Structure 1
Amino acid sequence: MRGHGAHGPAPGEHAALVDGVAVPRARVDALLTAVPARDRETRPEALARAERQRRRWATQVVVTDELARRSCEERGLAPPDEVSPSRVLAVAGTDVADLGSIVAAALAHSPAAHALLAELEREQEVPEESVRDYYDRNPDRFLTPEALRRGVDPFGGAAPEDFLPYERARDGITRELRRTAGRRAFFDWLDRARAGVEYAPGHEHPGDPSHPDHEHRH
């Protein structure tokens, strides 16, 4: 375990405290520089509000990275390669939709978060009955290409040969269910891990109702 108890920045130079250890504000500033603003507000008050919220959003991404680094160490995972915040990994649009902007950005920014999610996915056990149940409840997902071309209705009038056999679909379903379970586990871990984080003024969660600009965002 690395020395989390080392001296941190002086008061006023941190964005948050994780177990009493400062997360430097400079890490948030670096991420803000790496991810340009998308807001197109021109009114000064609206632009100022957007920038305040962007800083709070970036703080959540950086804190998630810090928490993930610690969790990787506790689990004995190989330390992720250090990367500059300017090297933002690609995240698919579907991942953004599934995970929410903060978590998706954390996975793009943080090798540690990415490694932890992969480990959590590997840990998930998918019972055979769950795989079979998914196959039986979603026949529209397992039509053969020929059946799709013919416009076969999977819920009425389809013949057995119009569907991909269970044996051929099984591995793909298992991977999908494990991936979904891993993401749920990641969210559960993150909720627990950041419960004790203390944020400096101006770095609160974007959805924290204690500040006037709050908005619901994951």
Structure 2
Amino acid sequence: MSSATGHAAVVGGDAISRDRVDALLRAVPPRDRETRPEALARSERQRRRWATQVVVTDELARRACADRGLTPPAEVSPTRVLAVAETDVADLGSIVAAALAHSPAARELLAELEAEQHVPEAAVRDYYDRNLDRFLTAEALRRGADPFDGAAKADFLPYQEVREGVVRELRRAAGRRAFFDWLDRARADVVYAHGHEHPGDPSHPDHEHRH
């Protein structure tokens, strides 16, 4: 194990510097504007734990990319304000959403995992058949056609016309699941320094699951 002081976590025997966590914290404005001292202290503890998870995800993704022979694009400055779309937070959770916004390696790995996904034709057709309300024509939408009661075949976009879009959507969803599965496995052996544990760790009285 690397002998380094001021580390936030140890990944594969290497210490991850607290400086990386601090740089991320400077780039991400607090979501909560607490004013009471005890609430502010708790919020900042959780922010540090959250940022540690983002940095660890970045480090793990760098290693995974190296193992796969992938070369992520150049890293942007860690001091810029990090903007994370609320829709990504809702879909991915704030840790993974921020990691993908912050880490070129995480984005490269996700793209690779997505490209590896095979979407069976039967799954594409089943998605189309079960979600016909998403495939109404513009005219049917203007008319207020009910996709579940009384809509004619002509009211729906043909399967072959939308098939590629459905394949992309299902592959993207499968890629995200593969990314989550990889991350769960990859961080299982990470050792965190005191004050940098996962914000949802139930062994801490102020844990939370808003991630």
Task: Give, in whole Å, the separation in 2 of the partners of 1:143 and 1:127.
Answer: 23
The Cα of 1:88 is off from its aligned counterpart by 5.4
Equivalent of 1:9 in 4, 8, 32: 4
The 8 Å contact of residues 27 and 82 in structure 2, kept in 1 or not, is answered as no
The Cα of 1:187 is off from its aligned counterpart by 0.3
Q: Does 1:163 align with 2:156?
A: yes
Bigger Cα displacement from structure 2, 207-216 vs 171-180: 207-216
Equivalent of 2:139 in 146, 150, 157: 146
The Cα of 1:216 is off from its aligned counterpart by 1.3
Alignment-derived partner of residue 203 in structure 1? 196
Alignment-derived partner of residue 186 in structure 1? 179
The Cα of 1:92 is off from its aligned counterpart by 3.3
Bigger Cα displacement from structure 2, 31-40 vs 77-86: 77-86
Q: CA 1:144 to 1:90, structure 2 compared with 1: closer, same or farther past 3 Å?
A: farther
Alignment-derived partner of residue 11 in structure 2? 18
What is the aligned residue count?
Answer: 211
The 8 Å contact of residues 18 and 196 in structure 1, kept in 2 or not, is answered as yes
The Cα of 1:210 is off from its aligned counterpart by 1.4
Task: Give, in whole Å, the separation in 1 of the partners of 2:29 and 2:90.
Answer: 20
The 8 Å contact of residues 88 and 109 in structure 1, kept in 2 or not, is answered as no
Alignment-derived partner of residue 49 in structure 2? 56
The 8 Å contact of residues 16 and 24 in structure 1, kept in 2 or not, is answered as yes
> C-alpha offsets along residues 68-118 of structure 1, whole Å, 9 cap, x if unaligned?
000000011113312221245654332221100000000011110011111
Q: Does 1:135 align with 2:141?
A: no
Q: CA 1:146 to 1:8, structure 2 compared with 1: closer, same or farther past 3 Å?
A: farther
Alignment-derived partner of residue 111 in structure 1? 104
Bigger Cα displacement from structure 2, 34-43 vs 82-91: 82-91
Identity of matched residues, %: 79
TM-score by length of 1: 0.93
Task: Give, in whole Å, the separation in 2 of the partners of 1:88 and 1:65.
Answer: 17
The Cα of 1:40 is off from its aligned counterpart by 1.4
Q: CA 1:202 to 1:82, structure 2 compared with 1: closer, same or farther past 3 Å?
A: same
Q: CA 1:126 to 1:90, structure 2 compared with 1: closer, same or farther past 3 Å?
A: farther
Q: CA 1:89 to 1:32, structure 2 compared with 1: closer, same or farther past 3 Å?
A: closer
Task: Give, in whole Å, the separation in 2 of the partners of 1:90 and 1:76.
Answer: 29
* Helix, strand or coil at the partner of 2:9: strand
* Helix, strand or coil at the partner of 1:194: helix
The Cα of 1:17 is off from its aligned counterpart by 0.3
Q: Does 1:214 align with 2:204?
A: no
Q: CA 1:88 to 1:125, structure 2 compared with 1: closer, same or farther past 3 Å?
A: farther
The 8 Å contact of residues 73 and 79 in structure 1, kept in 2 or not, is answered as no
